[in-house]
Amino acid sequence: MELAKAKGTTAEERLQSLGLTLPPAAGAVAAYEPWSIVNGILYMSGQLPWIAGDLLYKGKIGAELSIEDGYKACQLGALNAISQLKAALGTLDRVKLIFRLEGVLNVAPGFTDTPKVLNGASHLLSEVFAERGRHTRMIYTNPEMPLDCACLVVFWAEVAD
């Protein structure tokens, strides 16, 4: 997914101008909820780099997967996270601010270019939500990941009633 400069005034218009279509929001794969809203904050469960249940990026970044593959995996995880936002809120217009992005990356021993990889999610947030997508972030690495996925992407967002 190559990002061009997004055009439009709403998040959904910017998605469209980037040539992106939101996939259906994924359901939980175990005993948890995909998202929860508490006191105006939406907390999201980890979103995988998949489409329609097909995991597109499996393996360790820095071994089977390149930095570019990891970047694209994080972009796809972020696109799935945006789908969760829309499923939770009905419209992306209710997002006041995505203030936190967390990424959990499946990395090979010694791989340290994790900031470049998670930029896939950060860049998409900036393009789609503009100022409302300005976020802090945290990167975690795991030696083993669920389903051998390349990444999990999580948003925390302030939402309007």
* Coarse DSSP helix, strand, coil percentages of the chain, rounded to the nearest 5 percent: 35, 30, 35
5 confidence band (pLDDT: 50, 70, 90):
confident
Which domains does the chain possess?
Answer: 11-22+34-159 (3.30.1330.40)
Average pLDDT over residues 39-68: 96
Q: How far is CA 81 from the centre of its chain?
A: 5
Give 27's pLDDT tier (boundaries 50, 70, 90): confident
pTM: 0.94
Q: How does pLDDT run across 58-92, given as a tens digit for each residue?
A: 999 999 999 999 999 999 999 999 999 999 999 99
AA letter at 114: T
pLDDT band at 2 (very low <50, low <70, confident <90, very high): low
Average pLDDT over residues 88-115: 97
Write the DSSP symbol of residue 49.
S
Beta bridge partners of 102: 138, 154
Q: Pick the closest to residue 154 from 85, 69, 62 (CA basis).
A: 85
The CA-based diameter of the chain, rounded to the nearest angstrom, is 45
What pLDDT is stored for residue 32 in this prediction? 93
Query: What's the whole-number mean pLDDT along residues 90-108?
Result: 97
Place of tokens 């997967």: 65
pLDDT at position 138: 98
Closest CA to 59 of 111, 1, 4, 120: 111
In whole angstroms, what is the distance from residue 122 CA to residue 124 CA? 5
